[in-house]
Chain A
């Protein structure tokens, strides 16, 4: 287990480093940050001035090394755009994204788990088909479309919820549903598949034969085993939602890290983008590391794979 954990940890660090190098190189390739900073009306000399002032004319490896050393000490530099410490901006925006991600995951679990269980109990019934429909629409519907439909319904036709902004719980209702709905199908399908497999196994037949209450068989014996892959999937889904909430945050003007990342990319605010990529990918790496270790602990066969 220790050898496996170490191997897995080393891999995680490698992934994080690769992501940081990759994002650094890609961002530089996307356009001159000095041009982006100077704005659309700047003259050539304005841009030259900024390039020198901010050191964008130094060799790329030097710029990367400089950034990495500071980042490892928790100093992500100053946002080229907001001219304030990136760490402070992240501290300001991460809670919004975390809240949204957490709520959305909770929503997805609350909808996906029961639907998956019910669908597994009655395979090929109308409930199973309805669950399949939920899963297909959830994956096929563009999030911003779904978001707008909700806005029309609940902000304009029936003005119950604010269409955008943050501050009250009401602001989080629609974003949570939209983001959560997107994550629901995977959880539902995995639950259904796991339950179907477990329900067909010998020990469940034994449990039933012993005359145990069906609910006990289902929730205590079957679900416990079927849900294991769902737990690791949820960890990964949570990581995905932290990074993938750009559209939802933009549509609902939630001002979290997703939207900040999107805006920062478009204005080549390199220190901000790099910090977000590093923090979110580290988060993702840590979550999948935990999931992997958890799986290895649960199923010893994985360790030798």
Chain B
């Protein structure tokens, strides 16, 4: 959107908010229906074939996995499994619950687990996120309520995958209707069942009254949840103010601040696992001699940017500055790494030392948060770095990154909400197409960390890698992101850092 359009949109929102009368009492509570809206259009409700975050929210309502993660403590808890144990570092055995039924009445047992996991791990099934399933060698039935899972190699993230993306499907139903059938009329064991799905428009959920006791997710209390896809943020706000919906999210800070002053509306801001970073072409993948091939230039750029002020003025909310290339709560994310505080004098000195006493010109790419990108350009300019911004769609930028055509980029990463450094640092520094550093030492440490099971060994190796990355300034981590959840006063809703709103846990006030 151009600046002019953006200004008009902001002004329009201001009008919207200043003329808006207090929201009428929501009809939702009266007829036990929670109305929620988001912008994302879900292509299918078969979670193995959609990659949207909204798909995750739906999946958690409709399906269960063998384990689950406590969103506050990040501990693993049995869900469809009643218990599990590591036989060795490549084998886990799961004892399954006996009191669980699918939405269509079929009892849940070992056959469903064996069928689902083996099917999804088979490359021929073409699930979209391969890393979720690629590590599984096979899953076998021991008896009706006992299964054994064998990994191809020790996989530290195994429990993480088993407690999130690896949902268990009903064997009979899925083998009959396939992904398309499941995508339209999903059948799971979860706290809500889908009673209507109009792709791209709306989803209707009814509470699963037969949901098993003792689930860490808890029994659903709200009878009906209706989701509508509303692409325009202003329209979402209008719907919230007119009582048409009870819950929206991803509301920009300016609008959220105004909404917070309205009666009947609650605004909650929470940090998310997503963080922003600058990635430099340290290993000269572009082929042309780029100033950022030199560690001193990378350090100079890092020192030139006042991240604290950017967070305070632009990103705001619960965001914070970070120094290591991982989200602070992630396992293995050490904080004792080299830091680059705002120090323009030092930045200039480093530039001079690198042979650029009169500054330099460089290409800079970004795909989101243009104001932040522009603020950084301003800071860099102050020390003599003229960064020319090319602002692209994510797809186009990722293309350029893969083809080694970027000197340095402003990117962000959400770690698939996985609370482990493997999902952040290993993703980008293990020699893949995304790796602009190509540091053999770092690659070696990360390979070791990702295949070790012993937590102490892993922590030690991630620490080594993170310290080396910071010292060489391969990346400059910037800040964590935050999300605004805006909802009616009628509901009790708790945001979590993994950015997965748990609608099954929402209650009326």
Contact = CB atoms under 8 A, between A and B. Distances in A.
**Which secondary structure dominates where chain A touches chain B?**
helix
Contacts of B396: 30-32
A83 B44 contact: yes
A73 interface: no
Contacts of B21: 156-157
Interface size bracket, B side: 35 or more
Contact of A31 (B44, B201, B229, B395): B395
A31 B235 contact: no
Given A31-B396, A151-B238, A38 B128 contact: yes
B130 A32 contact: no
A253 interface: yes
Interface in A66-87: 79, 81-84
B440 interface: no
Contact of B8 (A142, A157, A165): A142
Given A46-B130, A148-B234, A159 B398 contact: no
Interface stretch (A192-200, A234-242, A255-263, A273-281): A255-263
A43 interface: yes
Contacts of A2: none
A41 interface: yes
B131 A46 contact: yes
A49 to B, nearest CB: 6
A164 B244 contact: yes
A36 B5 CA distance: 26
Given A42-B129, A83-B49, A252 B20 contact: no
Given A151-B16, A152-B16, A83 B235 contact: no
A46 B343 CA distance: 40
Given A152-B238, A155-B238, A165 B398 contact: no
Nearest to A49: B130
Contacts, number: 146
Contacts of B402: 44, 47
Given A30-B393, A155-B242, A39 B52 contact: yes
A142 B7 CA distance: 12
B352 interface: no
Scoring A46, A79, A155, A253 by chain B CB atoms within 10 A of each residue's CB, the highest score goes to A253
Contact of A39 (B19, B128, B131): B128
Contacts of A259: 231
Interface string B423-442: 00001000011100000000
B314 interface: no
Interface string B34-66: 000000010110000101100000000000000
A220 interface: no
Nearest to B5: A142
Nearest to B123: A49
Contacts of A168: none
Given A39-B128, A142-B8, A148-B12, A159 B235 contact: no
B434 A253 contact: no
B354 interface: no
A253 B228 contact: yes
Interface in B220-278: 228-232, 234-235, 238-239, 241-242, 244
B451 to A, nearest CB: 17
B43 A81 contact: yes
Contact of B231 (A46, A145, A250): A250
Nearest to B403: A32
Interface in B274-291: none
Nearest to A259: B231
Scoring B8, B19, B238 by chain A CB atoms within 10 A of each residue's CB, the highest score goes to B238
B404 interface: no
A98 B392 CA distance: 33
Given A148-B16, A162-B242, A164-B232, 11 more contacts: A30-B396, A40-B394, A42-B51, A42-B128, A79-B43, A82-B43, A152-B238, A156-B20, A157-B21, A165-B228, A260-B200
The 7 A-B residue pairs whose C-beta atoms are closest, nearest first, are: A31-B395, A39-B51, A44-B433, A31-B396, A163-B238, A148-B12, A253-B230
Interface of A: 30-33, 35-47, 49-50, 53, 79, 81-84, 142, 144-145, 148-149, 151-152, 155-157, 159, 162-165, 250-253, 255, 259-260, 263, 266, 268
7 contacts: A31-B393, A32-B396, A38-B51, A149-B15, A151-B238, A156-B20, A162-B244
